[in-house]
């Protein structure tokens, strides 16, 4: 579609609607079994784009006759925006419908073009790190669009009115959106609420082994990665696990806590048996020759399990 020249690419209606051979068209026009007069004066039923194109030209001429001040882009937009929607044409023609001459004429006031009026929603939500899309819609056949005060990472297509991108900052943004044609500009305030994103953990950390009696804070976490910068730590670092291998929760805290939430995963922690340390050796009672050590009594002494 040539947006600068304002040309309309039209396909005629057939029993199968659209085969996609020529790519995506702007709209569809009934050009199936049209009755035309031949050179011999006999009417004949024919089909094809050659018979739908004159219909479009006729509609355009009627719009211009009602309002000669219309630009070629305004004529084009009026024809597309007033097309009668047909579900079978979704994704096959840009307008999603068949040209409606009566609706197009009703959209044009004799001798003047209506100032656009924003008709799209004035509030929308998004999430940091996720694709965002919003389309400015308007009455009055606008020829261009604009927007300011958008979240970082988001921009507007001034030809289509589509606001899209991937927000990089959380918060509530008050944007000004507008639609314009030769008659003037219509504007509105759009409130965009961008929620914090949730990072994805691409590689969980590895926990070093600890001994029985040590808390999780004694274990080191290494070899991790996530979709944004941040750090991993045990969710409950004071926990003292039993011997063996256990699954423990770790929390990822992003560096940019203003724009991202924390998230959790689990790691395996190996807890080995501990070796006590002897603080004070015990005192053994004396025995006589011939007695075994079992006859000696141990007293006192102390040990500590770390």
| pLDDT tens column, 154-180 | 999 999 999 999 999 999 999 999 999
- Does residue 77 share a domain with residue 46? yes
Q: Across the chain, what does the average pLDDT equal? A: 84
> What per-residue confidence (pLDDT) applies to 215?
96
Q: Pick from 200, 149, 210, 218: which is nearest to 177 by CA?
A: 149
> What per-residue confidence (pLDDT) applies to 206?
97
Please state, in angstroms and rounded to a whole number, the distance separating the CA atoms of residues 190 and 175: 5
If you average pLDDT over residues 143-149, what whole number do you get? 95
Residue 264 in any domain: the answer is: yes
Q: Pick from 72, 84, 112, 71: which is nearest to 27 by CA?
A: 84
Share of residues in the chain with pLDDT > 90 (%): 55
Q: Which residue has the higher pLDDT, 199 or 59?
A: 199
- Does residue 156 share a domain with residue 97? no
Q: Is the pLDDT of residue 4 over 80?
A: no
- Does residue 132 share a domain with residue 167? yes
- Does residue 244 share a domain with residue 214? yes
Residue at which a domain ends, from 151, 169, 195 = 195
Helices (H), 20-172: 49-66, 72-81, 101-106
Please state, in angstroms and rounded to a whole number, the distance separating the CA atoms of residues 186 and 177: 9
Total count of domains within the chain? 4
Q: Which residue has the higher pLDDT, 60 or 86?
A: 60
Q: Is the pLDDT of residue 216 over 60?
A: yes
If you average pLDDT over residues 53-73, what whole number do you get? 85
CATH of residue 168: 2.60.40.10
CB 286 within 8 A of CB 296: yes
Per-residue pLDDT tens digits for 94-128: 666 788 888 888 877 655 668 899 999 999 999 99
Residue at which a domain ends, from 195, 227, 242 = 195
If you average pLDDT over residues 29-55, what whole number do you get? 68
- pLDDT confidence of 68, banded at 50, 70, 90? confident
What is the extent of the structural domain holding 236?
A: 201-272
Could you tell me the CA-to-CA distances from 117 to 56, 108, 114, 178, 209 in Å, in that order? Answer: 26, 14, 9, 9, 66
Residue 91 in any domain: the answer is: yes
Q: Is the pLDDT of residue 144 over 90?
A: yes
> What per-residue confidence (pLDDT) applies to 45?
72
Which range among 24-33, 46-55, 260-269 has the greatest average pLDDT?
Answer: 260-269
- pLDDT confidence of 36, banded at 50, 70, 90? low
- Does residue 58 share a domain with residue 16? yes
Please state, in angstroms and rounded to a whole number, the distance separating the CA atoms of residues 121 and 134: 9
Q: Is the pLDDT of residue 43 over 90?
A: no
If you average pLDDT over residues 195-210, what whole number do you get? 96
> What per-residue confidence (pLDDT) applies to 110?
54
């Amino acid at each position: 579609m040539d947006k600068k020249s304002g040309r309309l690419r039209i396909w005629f209606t057939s029993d199968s609607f659209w085969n996609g051979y020529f790519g995506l068209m702007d709209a569809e026009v009934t050009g199936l079994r049209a009755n035309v007069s031949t050179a011999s004066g006999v009417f004949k039923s024919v089909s094809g784009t050659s018979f739908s194109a004159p219909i479009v030209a006729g509609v355009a001429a009627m719009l211009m006759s009602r309002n000669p001040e219309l630009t070629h882009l305004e004529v084009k937009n009026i024809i597309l925006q007033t097309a009668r929607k047909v579900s079978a044409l979704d994704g096959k023609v840009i307008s999603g419908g068949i040209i409606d001459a009566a609706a197009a004429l009703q959209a044009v006031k004799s001798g003047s073009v209506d100032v656009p009026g924003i008709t799209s929603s004035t509030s929308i939500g998004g999430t940091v790190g996720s694709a965002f899309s919003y389309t400015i819609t308007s009455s009055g056949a606008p020829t261009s669009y604009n927007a300011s005060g958008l979240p970082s990472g988001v921009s507007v297509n001034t030809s289509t009115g589509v606001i899209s991108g991937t927000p990089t900052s959380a918060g509530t943004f008050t944007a000004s959106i507008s639609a314009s044609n030769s008659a003037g500009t219509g504007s509105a305030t759009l409130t965009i609420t961008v929620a914090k994103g949730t990072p994805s953990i691409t590689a969980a950390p590895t926990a070093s082994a600890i001994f029985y009696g040590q808390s999780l804070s004694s274990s080191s976490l290494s070899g991790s990665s996530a979709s944004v910068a941040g750090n991993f730590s045990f969710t409950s670092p004071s926990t003292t696990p039993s011997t063996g291998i256990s699954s423990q929760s770790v929390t990822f805290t992003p560096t940019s806590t203003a724009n991202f939430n924390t998230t959790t995963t689990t790691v395996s922690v190996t807890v080995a048996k501990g070796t006590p340390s002897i603080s004070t050796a015990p005192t053994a009672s004396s025995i006589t020759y011939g007695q075994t050590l079992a006859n000696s009594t141990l007293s006192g002494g102390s040990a500590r399990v770390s």
